[in-house]
Amino acid sequence: MEKIRVALVYGGMSGEHSVSCLTAASVMRAIDRDLYEVVPIAIAKDGTWVPGIDDPEGLEANGPHGEVQVGEEKIIAGFGPGAEFCVVNERKEMRSLGRIDIVFPLLHGPFGEDGTIQGLFEMMGIPYVGCGVFASAAGMDKHFTKVVLEEAGIPFTPYVLADAPRWANEPDAVREEASRLKFPLYVKPARAGSSLGISRVANMEDLDAAIEVAHKVDSKVLIEQGIPGREIECAVLGGREGRGPRASVLGEIVLTSQWYDFETKYEDNGGFRMQIPAKLPEDLAAEMQEMACRVFTAFDCEGLTRVDFFLTEEGPSRVVVNEINTMPGFTNVSMYPALWEATGLPYAELINELCAQAASRPAGRR
């Protein structure tokens, strides 16, 4: 039986470039080689596409600081019927990477999970794992995430928008609106991932500096009210043949540091631990799983999404959606695969299910 040729695309132009390389290593090690032929494609930090390496140990060698290197060979993409990826060298010699049945974009952050690369695959007519253009774009943008959640009647964290034009033209209005939120506040780039550029603000005196830090990452910034409570996460997996989405058991991020920033996630492993399954009453867990599936449906997600909640001790809305991740951390020890492992779906089988879903989708705008 002919193997399915799956292009694993990793690296990328975002601040999560190195994390993506680690993700590719985990998938390469776990994917069923009897079913799939891996075609590695790497994207350097400057956006150059190059032939990747099918070498998990090599990709993991530099830990959370690995980087795709650019050599004399580069990859170009064609569009339209029969579109393919080709390798071209400095002498303008060209060779095709051959048939690609599925693309698995193992990319995080801008130009990876924000709908841009999904649109490229749409134009090439190649099936790909994960959410389509709209869901990816809306889920990546923390502002529009809240817009979609509000329309769906799903509780979310209170916020103030501080994009570059508004901060330049009406900073006093931004400060005044922010002062009505309860401290501490969290100032976040609207379209970054892995907690890059986020600051915890304990008083108004520190707000301006935090906004400037966030603007270095993204011109669009949110000021969010801190929600005292537990951080609960749920992995959602799309269904095939018209079936609805499925929710995993719930997990909890238990912090031993002050908050869950980039260093805590990827460098200081002692700063947190994952409690799987989360210790919750059955009825509350079922409510959160049902809400996670509602979020998945509201955004028209496909494939995989992780929904992150705050669980408060009191108030009319005890369960509040913090954010969604349409390409969540996907190393073999990340929360999303770990939640499905605890639900009864091992990592290798999860990869197979996601690839099968991608292959079964009809072509068309997503």
Copy the structure tokens of residue 165: 């034009």
- Residue keyed to tokens 């009453």: 281
Q: Residues 15, 217: contact at Cβ < 8 Å? A: yes
32 is in an annotated binding site: no
Beta strands in the chain (DSSP E): 4-11, 36-43, 49-51, 74-77, 85-88, 94-96, 102-105, 159-161, 185-189, 199-201, 221-225, 230-237, 246-255, 272-275, 304-311, 319-325
Copy the structure tokens of residue 171: 């900073």
**CA distance readout (Å), 246 to 46, 119, 132:** 37, 26, 18
308 is in an annotated binding site: yes
Q: Residues 238, 245: contact at Cβ < 8 Å? A: yes
Q: Residues 151, 321: contact at Cβ < 8 Å? A: no
Distance separating alpha carbons of residues 118 and 9, to the nearest angstrom: 12
- Assign 3-class secondary structure to 20-51: HHHHHHHHHHHCCCCCEEEEEEEECCCCCEEE
Q: Annotated catalytic residue: which of 16, 113, 233, 252?
A: 16
Q: Annotated catalytic residue: which of 26, 194, 195, 199?
A: 194
CA angle 330, 364, 239 (to 5 degrees): 45
203 is in an annotated binding site: no
Copy the structure tokens of residue 30: 């776990």
Does residue 16 have an active-site annotation?
yes
Q: Residues 133, 109: contact at Cβ < 8 Å? A: no
Q: Annotated catalytic residue: which of 122, 224, 334, 353?
A: 334
Q: Residues 13, 45: contact at Cβ < 8 Å? A: yes
Closest by CA position to 104, among listed 75, 125, 129: 129
Virtual torsion, Cα 353, 37, 75, 8, nearest 10 deg: 30
Closest by CA position to 198, among listed 182, 209, 187: 187
Q: Residue positions in the annotated binding site for Mg(2+)?
A: 308, 323, 325
Q: Residue positions in the annotated binding site?
A: 308, 323, 325
Question: Which residues form the catalytic set?
Answer: 16, 194, 334
